[in-house]
Structure 1
Amino acid sequence: MTSRTTMLPSQVHFWDRWHVRRGATGEDPLHRELRQRFLELMPAGERVSVADLGCGQGHDAVAFAAAGHTVTAIDFSPVSVEQVRRRAEQVHRSVAALCHNLAEPLPFAAGSMHGVYAHLSLHYFDDATTRLVFTEIWRVLVAGGVLVFSVKSTDDPYFGTGDEVGPNMYCRNGHLRHFFSREYLESLLVDWKQEDVRHCRGRYASHEPSAFFHVVARKPE
């Protein structure tokens, strides 16, 4: 591990290349589990508005649309957003896909979302930006709305590898990650009703083992 103060490589460029060269199937067991958990928490038989933050190639967004919900999927990778649109068109599902950086205010009105979902998309920012992201999620959720997300944990094998760029933040092979401890999660969710904080181990889009937190939190009524 080495310290680094120079400019970080472009993460948009990194993810554009990743989506072209690799991508994800959306069928990793832990990924399916998180997606299903979110769907189970949405009102049964009711069409509600949900947001998929850092939507990747749209596997989750399309599944939410197939369940009858109004879906807005956002990602800062133009390649990703185009792939989401094509995937939705191929299965005749309506998904609004927007190119947007989560470090900026979310493009939704206050109280406009019944659910917010973020699979491995909230662990790329420094502490100040991360807290702003969670503040924005709180703003756009209705009272009683649900946030379901996953993040890399400090038990992950990649924790501590690459260039150290901030507290619990490392850039390895051009890929920036902020690894979360349970204590850090608790500090982010202090005002939320925490329904489940689960530590998981498995694989995602790789043969390498990983460690994650899967979290279900609710904005109080």
Structure 2
Amino acid sequence: MSEHEPRKQAPEAGLAAVQREHWQHTYAEHPGMYGEVPSEPAVHATAVFRAAGAREVLELGAGHGRDALHFARAGFTVLATDFSPVGLDQLRAAAGARGLAGRVTAMVHDVREPLPLADASVDAVFAHMLLCMALSTEEIHALVAEVRRVLRPGGAFVYTVRHTGDAHYGAGIAHGDDIWEHGGFAVHFFSRDLVDSLARGWRLQEVHAFEEGDLPRRLWRVAQTAAE
């Protein structure tokens, strides 16, 4: 898919559908695009989850699975979700090749829909840059409410988002609601007010600023715990 196709299709298909197709093509054209080394937030989340006594981890937006595989190697049982079947096929293949298929379950799911899980059924939830995809503020609040619903009391939620101090904020194609598209990828840039509003009813443990990538991207790593 070219850089121009998402802009052309958006009026007919909607930004969400266009972004899904864009990620499908990206994963197909660049298998294992993020490599095998886990992200720094996943390494940090491993310690947070262990301290919380977690055994099961739900990862939202797992992609081709570098972090899901890391959690599995660390001894967790992992349910990895993504809206890209192509990315999840790569995850399943990698898990099988590394002898981790018994610890990793991959499931296609769009986070704009309710999580297909029972109340209080998971110990921990991880999402690296999933919440700052092309989601509206309303959709983000609904997703965090779903995370709270499926987490057991005392369960930990660790997520990362690009924030309004990032160099790409205000650049590229404006979609409204602090969503900006650059190079075909649409990002919802978070203000600190949005982070704080998502923590209401939780115990907010950490908002840590860090940088990632060559730009560099500027992000927050947020850890919050479901009230018992």
Same fold (TM over 0.5): yes
Indicate how the Cα distance of structure 1 residues 74 and 142 shifts in structure 2: closer, same or farther if over 3 A, else same. Answer: same
Alignment of 1:57-96 (within 5 A): 57-93=64-100, 94=102, 95-96=104-105
Alignment of 1:24-39 (within 5 A): 24-27=34-37, 31=39, 33-39=40-46
CA distance in 1 between counterparts of 2:209 and 2:77 reads: 30
Q: 1:102 aligns with which of 103, 111, 118?
A: 111
Alignment of 1:151-190 (within 5 A): 151-190=161-200
CA distance in 2 between counterparts of 1:21 and 1:191 reads: 42
Number of equivalenced pairs: 212
CA contact (8 A) 2:156 2:224 kept: yes
Please report how far the alpha carbon of residue 112 of structure 1 lies from its aligned counterpart in structure 2 after TM superposition: 0.7
Report which stretch shifted further, 136-145 or 46-55.
46-55
Q: What one-letter code is carried by the residue in structure 2 that aligns with 1:217?
A: Q
Indicate how the Cα distance of structure 1 residues 123 and 77 shifts in structure 2: closer, same or farther if over 3 A, else same. Answer: same
* Aligned position for 1:141: 151
Q: TM-score, normalised by structure 1?
A: 0.89
Aligned CA-pair RMSD: 1.9
Q: Which has the higher contact order (CA 8 A, sep 6+)?
A: 1
* Aligned position for 1:17: 25
CA distance in 1 between counterparts of 2:42 and 2:122 reads: 17
* Aligned position for 1:195: 205
CA distance in 2 between counterparts of 1:47 and 1:172 reads: 37
CA distance in 2 between counterparts of 1:50 and 1:146 reads: 10
Q: Deviations over 1:82-107 (max 9, x none)?
A: 01100100101021000110111011
Q: Deviations over 1:27-57 (max 9, x none)?
A: 37xx2x211221112236x771210100011
Please report how far the alpha carbon of residue 12 of structure 1 lies from its aligned counterpart in structure 2 after TM superposition: 1.3
Aligned-pair identity in percent equals 32
Indicate how the Cα distance of structure 1 residues 26 and 181 shifts in structure 2: closer, same or farther if over 3 A, else same. Answer: farther
CA distance in 1 between counterparts of 2:222 and 2:211 reads: 14
Please report how far the alpha carbon of residue 173 of structure 1 lies from its aligned counterpart in structure 2 after TM superposition: 3.0
* Aligned position for 1:130: 140
Identify unmatched segments of 5+ residues in structure 1. none
CA distance in 1 between counterparts of 2:106 and 2:58 reads: 10
Identify unmatched segments of 5+ residues in structure 2. 1-6
Paired residue secondary structure (2:141): helix
Structure 1's consecutive aligned runs of 4 or more residues displaced over 4 angstroms after TM superposition are none
* Aligned position for 1:121: 130
CA contact (8 A) 1:47 1:68 kept: no
